Amino acid sequence: MGSKKSTVDECKIIDLRKINDPRGNLTPIEGGIDIPFEVKRIYYLYDVPCGESRGAHAHKKLRQLIVAANGSFTITLDDGTNKKAYTLNRPYQGLLIVPGIWRDLDDFSSGAVLLCLASEHYEASDYIRNHDEFLVYKGIKE
């Protein structure tokens, strides 16, 4: 389905493997196996000051898996018609975000680390950073 028509219902929590060990637990993520895309890029977000927000954009092509590698935060997804909010707080769960979804990131706990696995290299032209433009892109607003 194209990203202009994508909905928040296509985004979902993926339960990742957790290899329990008294020495410390481990979660592997293999592109194309544990998640439905090959990984071209990884980035992580950290040292987010209390009360700050991130995100506030959509992507046209990019698929992402977002994991709270430490701490917690809230991701609110928006397809222009419906919204769905997720609190991520487990390093063995990821939120799959399909293209064409606006996201706002809030409520970062102290020490939170957001790990993102991305299907594409960084491309500024893949971003929609204006919500009205996003609604036009989704065919909801003229």
46 is a contact residue toward ligand TYD (CB under 6 A): no
Q: Which of 16, 45, 69, 135 binds ligand TYD (CB under 6 A)?
A: 45
44 is a contact residue toward ligand TYD (CB under 6 A): no
- Restricting to residues 72-131, name those near ligand TYD by CB under 6 A: 122
Residue positions annotated with a catalytic role:
57
Pairing of strands 73-78, 64-70: unpaired
14 is a contact residue toward ligand TYD (CB under 6 A): no
16 is a contact residue toward ligand TYD (CB under 6 A): no
Closer residue to ligand TYD (CB): 8 or 62: 62
Contact stretch for ligand TYD (CB under 6 A) within 12-20, 37-45, 63-71, 79-87: 37-45
Give the 3-state DSSP-derived string for the chain, with helices as H, strands as E and coil as C.
Answer: CCCCCCCHHHCEEEECCCECCCCCCECCCCECCCECCCCCEEEEECCCCCCCCEEEEEECCCCEEEEEEECCEEEEEECCCCEEEEEECCCCEEEEECCCCEEEEECCCCCCEEEEEECCCCCHHHEECCHHHHHHHCCCCC
Closer residue to ligand TYD (CB): 111 or 139: 111
Closest CB 116 distance from ligand TYD, rounded Å: 7
Contact stretch for ligand TYD (CB under 6 A) within 11-19, 49-57, 79-87, 93-101: 49-57
43 is a contact residue toward ligand TYD (CB under 6 A): yes
The span from the CA of 36 to the CA of 64, in Å, is: 10
Q: Which among 55, 107, 54, 58 is positioned nearest to 80, based on CA atoms? A: 58
* Residues making contact with ligand TYD (CB under 6 A): 41, 43, 45, 54-55, 57, 122
